[in-house]
Amino acid sequence: MRGGRKTCPMCEGAVRNVDYKDEKTLGRFITERGKILPRRISGMCARHQRQVGTAIKRGRYLALLPYIAGHES
């Protein structure tokens, strides 16, 4: 069974650029293990999926987001 197409949550909110400092928004697109959600699950368009992936990686580098969930250094 196939469901209907999801609409991009970023396009619905009229977000032009994704900010890596917005931990709350980026946290919606990370699994409980700390992995980036794939596009087919998050429902984002390709453009915003690329922006979110880059923003999550930048946030991880600056220690705003965890690389691995539950692992404190």
For residue 26, the model assigns a pLDDT of 92
Contact in structure between 42 and 49 (CB atoms under 8 Å): yes
Residue 19 resides in a domain: yes
CATH of the domain at 53: 4.10.640.10
Residue 1 resides in a domain: no
> Given the structure tokens 């990370």, which residue do they identify?
30
For residue 6, the model assigns a pLDDT of 77
Close Cβ partners of 31 (under 8 Å, ≥ 6 residues apart)? 37, 69
> Given the structure tokens 């196939």, which residue do they identify?
2
Residue 71 resides in a domain: no
Could you read off the pLDDT tens digit of each residue along the chain, which spans 73 residues?
666 677 888 888 888 889 999 999 999 999 988 899 999 999 999 999 999 999 999 999 999 988 887 766 5
In the chain, how many domains are there?
1
Residue 25 resides in a domain: yes
Domain that holds residue 46: 9-61
Residue 31 resides in a domain: yes
Q: What is the number of H-type helices and E-type strands within the chain?
A: 4, 0
